[in-house]
A and B are shown apart, each in its own frame.
Chain A
Amino acid sequence: MADVVEAKKYLGQPVERVEDEILLMGKAQYSDHLPTRAGTQHAAILRSPHAHAKIISIDTSKAEKIPGVVAVMTGDDVKEMSEAFLIVLRQPINQWALAVEKVRYVGEPVAMVVARDRYIAEDALSEIDVVYEAMKPIIDQEEAISDDAPVVHEAVGSNVVSTRDFTYGEPDKAFADADKVVKMKVRYPRNSQTPLEGFVVTADYHEGENLYDVASNYQGPFTSHPVMSMALRVKNSQLRMRTPQWSGGGFGVKVQIFPYVVLICLASKKTGKPVKWVEDKLEHLSAAAAAPNRLIEMEAAVKSDGTVTGFRFDQQDDYGAFLRAPMPGPLYRMHGILTGAYDIKNLSVTNRVVMTNKCPSAMVRGFGGPQMYYAIERIMQKVAIELDMDPLDVIRKNLVPAGVFPYRAAAGALIDSGDYPAAVEQAVDEGALEALIKRRDEKRAAGKKYGIGYAAIVEPAQSNMGYLSNILPRDERQRNPKGGAVANATVNVDPLGTVSVTADSIPQGQGHMTILSQIVADVLGLTPDHIKVNLDFDTAKDAWSIATGNYSSRFSSATTVACLKAAEKVKAKLSRIASQTLNVPADQLEFVDGKIRDPANIENGINFYRAAGSAHWTPGNLPDEMEPCVRETGSWSPPELESPNEKDQINTSLTYGFVFDYCGVEIDEDTGEVKIDKYVTMHDSGTILNPLLAEGQVHGAFAWAVGCALYEEFVYGDDGSFLTGTFADYLVPTSWEVPEPQIVHMESPSMVTPLGAKGIAEGNCMSTPVCLANAVADALDVEDITLPMTPSRISAMIHGEEKPPANDRPIAAAPIKGEGNVLRGTGETFVPAAPQEVWNTLLDPEALTAVIPGCHKLDLVGDNSYEADVSLGVGPVRGRFKANVGLSEMVEPEKATLSGGLIGSLGASKGSGHVSLSASDGGTMVTYDYAIELTGTVASVGGRLLEGAAKALVNQFFQRLGAQVGGAPVTGGEPWWRNLLRSLGLAK
């Protein structure tokens, strides 16, 4: 147990952020702004359009000939130059920085171009010819475990790559003795908080030193540092990782830069030049990282009074195509606290790790908590429904009681402090729950669908570095035990008494600089603006360890303590120096207002800067055996973070906060929209270091959680197409969708960290999705709730599945339903030429070349069968395609059926359509319909953009046809993308 430091002058106050001024001026240098050496080249990455395919051949010769291209690399180069990434499991799941032999998800890097600038590099991507042999993909996690499912990693032989069973207490007895067993099956979707700034990596290989110098917005944990250095076949010290002070959001996701760090390092080594790569948003959404989707089958053993005596979990996490370190963290990070906020002694758990043909999973804010609490808090509501009890009473009945802390939970979490029953009652009171219940009654009496939801969760922070050990059998993990979680910070006082601080926290906007300046100002009796905190980071110079980085809310309980220790060392040293001058024992001196003085005689003091300066200017006068200069590093690891014991118990995190939420939602029966009418969130996060910043973390977590509950999901087609590749498809909440929650605070200082502070930034990611789901379940009186609760899903629950729109005209033969995106359209257009002329043009390859937008070449390859080479682009997706089109059912000059497909590096499509021509007003009325099925990268640009683009393309085709037939120049029309931008309101 740590000694708890009492509250001070600045700590605990809503001090405004020292970060803000430069950010508000727009002068902060993010990774893309860092200076690069002259001659720096730029990389672009060719990605797989297939979810699962063999790579038959890659021809890079055309790309290499483009002026400005310095190298094109493929999986063969990467395999020769590097090792496969180390993973946590002992399984043959080999991954390199580029795909080797096979691709396993849409978006997987297949080849890389390094060129003078990014524009040239992207041009060259479309000149790389990759021949794939498509394989059947496996997308659904439940189908993935069946024996006849396609296998993602043949060498493993199964898509289930790890299964572990755990038992705590006597779950079988608890279930046998139960009055009732409540069962539930829930699914949590794939999502990510998607930082606005994407990944940025610049690597510079220093040949003489065999050293890779990397600047990136990597956020740690530095457990991945050896993964990178081993892949690069160098010692840790030969991979210098630097991170700038400013990062445009992280949310866990930016650990997943590490494969790209290795890739760009290899590019630099191969070309002998510094190489920079900046990820774009399509790359990010499709291929950066996703929280694993999870399937949980859960059971609760229940007494008739509502007491829950046991839980059984069967958890199956879908990690996508590869297991990248620190996966499968989300399945194990919460392990010690699997009983949540409840006093439940009996527990059994089965954890399964499943692979599918989706983007590899990663750290995302909440890290396993949203999934786990979705199951626990849904089943607690169901317990109440089955016992005909109030859901809040079931929560109350089972909470860990007051006065038992520290409390050892069944699976090993050592809950440090709290008073859960009091926190619930305070929230009920301050949030006016009674009035909310009355409001629900009134709404329902008026015929509205209104519901109330509750959620009580424990929010862990500062992960035990041994938390993943439980995935290994006992004897194996005992050979190499892991535990602890080291934090580092350094406080320096220069010759003029200026104080500077560095630390290993690598923030992405959380305000760490402000908090550290508050801590040091309090210890040294200075003002925060006197403390210059610099949180850029450099493994070659800063103190760091494997736990270094910004994740699992480790800052408040860990880095702050290292900083406190460093500041106290500085204080002790300066006290000894001042003691010589002041003739007062060092331990009796106080640091106040820039002075070191005797509290009994405050006139007897010296200036802080003078005491510090003497360690630089007159080191000969220092007390005996004191080293010169003032630079102290604090390192700290809490003893409570032990390795898992022989009973598989593990204290997975250091601190455990408590969150209790309730909310009222009203559902619009016509639109299916879920309107959050009121939201109350109670947080006991221990001592609050800065209320302004703490509240900001709650608001931010809440906003993302609203997104998870209502909008955000990475969607895949059955064929593995990624369908949410833009922010017009992956919908994130705006200011319009996020209400302001009412925040209620309670402070139970943690006894295991000297400042008493726990994590606060992840709680709502865990509590809010399930709280909203419970409210919707209450409003609609249903059990099966699927996140995100989009209007279409809610409508389907109220009104039944939507029927396809009725058409007054026959639509072209529909491609197979459910395979990727299907675009449909109909239209008519007037062409000022006779039907026969139009018909002739449609059959003339030369004329068609001029008419088809983006067509480079068109050949007749058979009877009424054409092959074309076309460039097309929609939104962020641009590429070159081979098209095959055939005409059939031809009635000259009246009608024809077109069918065919496109294939290119960005995906494929097949489709069909009808065209009919009729004479009208001296010209021809052309009537058409089409249905096009898209797969691959193109399919990720869903909905609005694609439909608009298809319409614009078809319109342009007929405009150009009219011009061609009429003999007018074809070049007069505006490019189709301008029409599209205009239709989206983005251009004049």
Chain B
Amino acid sequence: MPQLNKDARHTVTMTLNGDEVSGYAEPRMLLSDFLTHEIGITSCHVGCEHGVCGACTVLVDGTVMRGCLTLAVQAEGSTVETAENLASDEGELSELQLAFKKHHGLQCGYCTPGILMSLTAYLKENPKPTEEELRDMLSGHLCRCTGYVGMVRAVLDYCENRTD
């Protein structure tokens, strides 16, 4: 890893949801702050800033990462995916998103984008989890509104009936 001057602002360039974007970051700037305040996306929600709640979860080169525990400069040259990337280019919700809507899997929506990103990665590895496996995986996220019932139903329904 290159040595960076801690007091300087550095250009950080990444492929974000298919587009090349760049902005400035001091080495200590968090990826979550960079994406929100430098680039201007709205899905990387900062909940706890200590890695427990999962609201800031994004994919960096396909790996699930907490935006609040990653430095922006670490994502230099990476491919970053966020929840803005899940709907189609025409703005139609994905089948997983539609299942969340159908089963009332969200209320305030603050935890939702992070959960969708973890699911996006997880369901590639395990396309048909049991409820127990799913709840185990979801326990990496905190939701204070829903009691998790709707989102568990949504994911199980989606996995059972998906056509995508």
Contacts and interface: CB of A to CB of B under 8 A. Distances in A.
A688 to B, nearest CB: 14
B4 to A, nearest CB: 14
Given A16-B101, A732-B142, A700 B107 contact: yes
Contacts of A27: 42-43, 84
A249 B149 contact: no
A700 B139 CA distance: 16
B100 interface: yes
A408 to B, nearest CB: 35
A700 B45 CA distance: 20
B interface SS class = loop
B149 A699 contact: yes
B150 A26 contact: no
A712 to B, nearest CB: 11
Contacts of A30: 42, 45, 110
A197 B47 contact: yes
Contacts of A32: 36, 46
A585 interface: no
**A197, A511, A981, most chain B CB atoms within 10 A:** A197
Nearest to A690: B104
Contacts of A510: 107
Nearest to A22: B109
A interface SS class = loop
Given A197-B45, A247-B108, A17 B144 contact: no
Contacts of B112: 23-24, 26
Contact of B49 (A17, A281, A702, A981): A281
Interface of A: 16-17, 19-21, 23-30, 32-33, 119, 193-197, 246-251, 280-281, 508-511, 692-693, 695-696, 699-704, 726-728, 732, 734-738, 740, 875-876, 945, 981, 984, 986-987
B75 interface: no
Contacts of A732: 142, 144
Nearest to A736: B139
Nearest to B98: A24
Contacts of A875: 50
A127 B41 CA distance: 33
B109 A699 contact: no
A839 B48 CA distance: 43
B95 to A, nearest CB: 12
A412 B46 CA distance: 45
B102 A16 contact: yes
A124 B54 CA distance: 29
B48 A246 contact: no
A26 B43 contact: yes
Interface string B2-22: 000000000000000000000
Contacts of B107: 249, 509-511, 696, 700
5 contacts: A24-B86, A25-B86, A249-B145, A736-B138, A986-B51
B113 A735 contact: no
B15 to A, nearest CB: 17
A20 B106 CA distance: 8
Contacts of B111: 196
B138 A24 contact: no
Give the top 7 A-B pairs by smallest Cβ distance, nearest first.
A26-B43, A509-B108, A23-B109, A248-B110, A26-B83, A703-B147, A699-B147
Given A26-B83, A26-B113, A696-B104, A735 B45 contact: no
A388 B101 CA distance: 49
B135 interface: yes
Contacts of A699: 146-150
Interface in B15-49: 26, 28-29, 36, 41-43, 45-49
B108 A696 contact: no
B97 interface: yes
Interface string B86-99: 11000101000100
Nearest to A21: B93
A699 B143 CA distance: 12
Contact of A703 (B50, B87, B100, B146): B146
Contact of A196 (B47, B102, B139, B151): B47
